[in-house]
Amino acid sequence: MKHKLHSESSDFCNCEHEHHKNHNHVHNHEESHNHDHNHDHDGEFNLKNEVLPLVVILSLYVPGVIFENQLHNTFYSIGEYLLFIPAYLLSGWSVLHTAGRNILRGRIFDETFLMTVATLGAIAIHKLSEAVGVMLFYRIGELFQNIAVSRSRNSIKALLEIRPDYANIQTEGELKKVPPDTVNIGDIIVVKPGEKIPLDGEIIDGNSQVDTSALTGESVPRTVRLGETVLAGMINKMGVISIRVTKLFDDSSIAKILDLVQNAKSKKAETEKFITKFARYYTPIVVFISLAVAILPPLFISGATSSEWVYRALILLVISCPCGLVISIPLGYFGGVGGAARRGILVKGSTFLDTLNAVNTVVFDKTGTLTRGVFKVAKIVPSNGYVEQGLLELAAKVESHSNHPIAQSIRKAYGGKIDDFEVRDYEEIAGYGIKAKLENRVVIAGSDRLLRRENIAHDNCQLEGTVIHLAVDNIYAGYIVIADELKEDARQAIHALKRMGVEKTVMLTGDNQAIASRIAQQLGIDAYEAELLPEEKVNAIEKLLSTVGKHNKVAFVGDGINDAPVIARADVGVAMGGLGSDAAIETADIVIMTDAPSKVAEAIQIARKTRQIVWQNIGFALVIKGVFIGLGILGVATMWEAVFADVGVALLAIFNATRVMK
């Protein structure tokens, strides 16, 4: 039986960031390949600022190419240098600057070093137009890549724009605009039509419709009424509503989401780290091969000239630049995270997209995950002289200190005023229920398991549904049946996972066997475990982790409020965060803002698409570069083919990476 409040105590809610998982969360900010000179900035992308220098460069470069012979024949080729050197510096300054800075820091071998050596070498052998061409086309490639990053970033940035600018706080007879972080719990704020709701709170006056799309990705407005909870970041569409603030701004869901988005890049996927390491070894190998190409043939091949083989070596350096890989792979993952954000799925880093690819077992919590978690009192059965209203009043009072949906449903059904001072010696017994004193009577409310523990005799052992038993001074007083219903897309979620090849779906619940069996059958879930205590859920996950095999992963999907230890222990923790659960956003690797279980399959689909595109880019770049390196050594490829092999491959990989956004 799942009186979830009682089966999973607050002790377990404090299990924040227990991220010592099998897949090792990546907190090391392993340095990328220092493309910070153009594309790895967090500033606002401005197309005009990017295009203007290109126009100036082209105005120097194009006449230089057209009149190259005439310029070359000027005194000491001074005309050629006057056009091409400024164009070279304008187009390649960021590359030269980054290469120089990295050399001073002891990081010599990267793609900027390759390009600097290749182009300076080309200038030395008087191939000025080709040297400028390499830098120019690289810069054009950077422009397209910046546009692609900007598009990806905008999907995530939309979340940042939900940050409210002000709150209308109600003071003596007037409204005053103040910063949201200055508002206190209990203050009354007023939100007019078209304004963002600045803080989490409860509606105390008015009804309206709110746009939740920035938080959830859902375009259909939601109707909110008196007494309902609204979250910061929602937009009020219709009526004026007054809200009593229930959380400080720094503790609100929106503040945690903003922090999540801003820190998502720190957790890099294994493929990203592999490419960083690959480039670290690949670049010096390329440099030494190029040196060998420049030096050895003139020594051992008769008729071979130094200028010819130096030129081939420079071509080899340009071809070998790993720009396409270094740029497009992080972009692919960034696009995956951005594309997921557009659909109301917040992924805390690309490493979790990689892990999702290996998930073959998905474990669901029941209440609030597969079921709506919107409880109603369906039946009151008093015993031993109690009447229905008296039993309901007793239950409402003993549950008065709880904020769990079950407790809330009981208090709502009662409807009367409860004096907090009536309840003394309140004790929550994890996995069992609540014990408290009311008017010097010891009252317990909870599971059948609690009654057995307290040795209280009763005949209502095998009831179906979520049942709260009550007893007063060790005498059974009756029970209350709480109704919950399945989410609309719960069945669709399980079927979608199976269609995608997920081998096993499991449900874990503290509810009784009868309920668990019925729901598992309705949804087509492969296996379930019922009547679990909080620590038994962790044990169940441990057991699954030990049986899935080395290369397979287990995902756990819970509501995040009381499932923190299980979410933290699974390979991928997925939380339903639509109701603004702090624990969901803090503990989980992936947060589903719509509370829809079908989004789990969608997240896996995005992860698979992302990985597919990333490996397409890796394969494509390596094959093309391999072919052109061979052509360069044989002397078939010129510097222009080298530019295509470098910048062309990077551009095609970038365009391919942006597909994951769709």
Task: List the catalytic residues.
Answer: 365
Count CB atoms within 10 A of the CB of residue 565: 22
What is the DSSP annotation of 209-272? EEE-HHHH---S-EEE-TT-EE-TT-EE-SS-EEEEE-S-GGGSHHHHHHHHHHHGGGS--HHH
Q: Which residue has the tokens 């679990």?
A: 532
> Tokens standing for 398?
């003993």
Give the Cα separation of 563 and 583 in Å (integer): 9
Which residue type, as a one-letter code, is found at position 593?
Answer: M
Closest by Cα among 597, 600, 595 to 374: 595
Among 343, 402, 313, which Cα is nearest to 5's? 402
The letter for the amino acid at 649 is V
In sequence order, the β-bridge partners of residue 229 are 202
Got the DSSP string for 552-604?
-EEEEEE-SSS-HHHHHHSSEEEEE-TT--HHHHHH-SEEETT--TTHHHHHH
Instruction: Say how many C-beta atoms besides its own lie within 10 A of residue 613's C-beta.
Output: 23
Question: What amino acid occupies position 537?
Answer: K
Angle at the Cα of 21 from the Cα atoms of 16 and 24, rounded to 5 degrees: 110
Q: How far apart are CA 20 and CA 36, in angstroms?
A: 31
Residue type, 398: V
Task: Report the relative pairing of strands 222-224 and 201-205 from DSSP bridges.
Answer: unpaired
What six digits make up the tokens of 489? 């897309």
Query: Of 141, 145, 234, 246, which Cα lies nearest the Cα of 193?
Result: 234
Which residues are 507's β-sheet partners?
A: 364, 528
Alpha-carbon distances, residue 391 vs 382, 455, 471 (angstroms): 6, 20, 10
